[in-house]
Amino acid sequence: MRIGVRLGVDVGSVRIGVARCDPGGILASPLETVKAGKGDVDRLVRLVEENEAIEVIVGLPTSLSGREGPAATSARRFATMLAERLSPEIVRLYDERLTTVTAESGLRAGGVHGQARRKVVDQAAAAVLLQAALDGERLTGRPPGEGVRGAGE
């Protein structure tokens, strides 16, 4: 397992959930919710710098059958924009099937309801995504998901 903080990013059309892990890559925790739109990439670049992250895992939403739809196209576009601003080798896409469902379920079970849940569900989904990526790397010994290159590469 590589040493260093990683960020998990759950891209939505309204909000972007961000999570981070400890330097040992053991545990993912919710970090922040970023408003999607103008300035979102700038904020994520700052979060990478502030947390000295060695990698950014962007969730790739696919259907249960593995097909990619409009949300996956959006996530790929967002990951490419990030890769253009950061070192491209640190941005990776990782399958995020059911992360929001898992996060919603966990929050509901923990007694978080209504408006309070809506405020943190994106961060929780990013934490579920990042934890899955960390566990996958620990299991295989390889970086998770697929690398992303900037548009000009």
pLDDT average, residue stretch 80-106: 80
Domain assignment present for residue 17? The answer is yes
Which backbone phi and psi does 22 adopt, to 5 degrees? -70, 165
pLDDT average, residue stretch 85-102: 79
Which backbone phi and psi does 57 adopt, to 5 degrees? -100, 115
Domain assignment present for residue 121? The answer is yes
Domain assignment present for residue 38? The answer is yes
User: Is the confidence at residue 20, as pLDDT, over 80?
Assistant: yes
Domain assignment present for residue 153? The answer is no
Domain assignment present for residue 14? The answer is yes
What CATH number does residue 92 fall under?
Answer: 3.30.420.140
Q: How far apart are the first and last CA of the chain?
A: 28
Name the band, by pLDDT with cuts 50, 70 and 90, for residue 99. low
Cα–Cα distance, 83 to 150 (Å, whole number): 5
Full domain range(s) for residue 50: 6-147
Using the 8-state DSSP alphabet, how is residue 97 labeled? T
pLDDT average, residue stretch 64-73: 81
- Which pairs from 109-115 meet CB under 8 Å and 24+ separation? none
- Number of residues written out for the chain: 153
Enter the tokens of residue 77: 């576009």
Q: Which residue type sits at 82?
A: L
Domain assignment present for residue 72? The answer is yes
Among 50, 58, 52, 100, smallest CA distance to 78 is for 58
- The total of structural domains in the chain comes to 1
pLDDT of residue 120: 74
Domain assignment present for residue 100? The answer is yes
Tens of pLDDT along 113-128?
666 556 678 898 899 9
Domain assignment present for residue 1? The answer is no
**Mean per-residue pLDDT of the chain:** 87
